[in-house]
Amino acid sequence: MLSVNLRHLEARDVRLQGELPVAELDLEVHDPVIHPEQPLHYDLNVQKLSDGLLVTGSLLLVLECECVRCLKPFRHELKIAHWTRHLPFAGEEKVAVDNDGVDLTPYVREDILLEFPQHPLCKPDCRGLEKISGGKTRAGSRRRDDPIASPWAELNKLKL
């Protein structure tokens, strides 16, 4: 759990640095091509304001992914370099305080999930699976680029 004690914030700002195991982030990822397996690295500064907390800093999570075009495994660094979150003490979105502590984990989780790649690619110009070229086709089957294999091939022969 990534938390800050409000009593420590009365004297000065608090800096939080470290790693948070991915199990503690409780990322319910239902995407079969994204696998968060490494810990979250964080470097945060927490300030107490009159109406709440201001959390700023950076987040880094390395994801093990599979390219949606070529299916090759690759690593994707999910970086949020300038993460900022205001956590109010009052109102509908007020932060929960438990024994003078505030758990920052749900807010980190939310923003991490929003940054997940929707269609992970190993590289922007990935061409996808390699096509099998050359060789013989099986008996009774034709290649896609063979004009006879086209359902329109007979119509192409018509002279109108």
pLDDT in tens, 68-91: 999 999 999 999 999 999 999 888
**Residue 72 to residues 64, 67, 121, 127, Cα–Cα distance (Å):** 11, 5, 9, 12
Q: What SS3 class is residue 25? A: helix
- From first to last of the 160 residues of the chain, give the pLDDT tens digit: 888 988 888 888 999 999 999 989 888 888 889 989 899 999 999 999 889 899 999 999 999 999 999 999 999 999 999 999 999 988 888 888 888 889 999 999 999 999 999 989 999 998 888 776 655 444 445 555 555 566 777 777 787 7
Adjacent-strand bridge partners of 101:
5, 98
Buried b (16+ CB within 10 A) or exposed e, 84-96: ebebeeeeeeebe
What whole-number distance in Å separates Cα of residue 57 and Cα of residue 80?
A: 8
Name the DSSP class of 157: T
pLDDT score recorded for residue 6: 87
Q: How far from chain centre, in Å, is Cα 80?
A: 11
Domain segments of the chain as ranges: 3-114
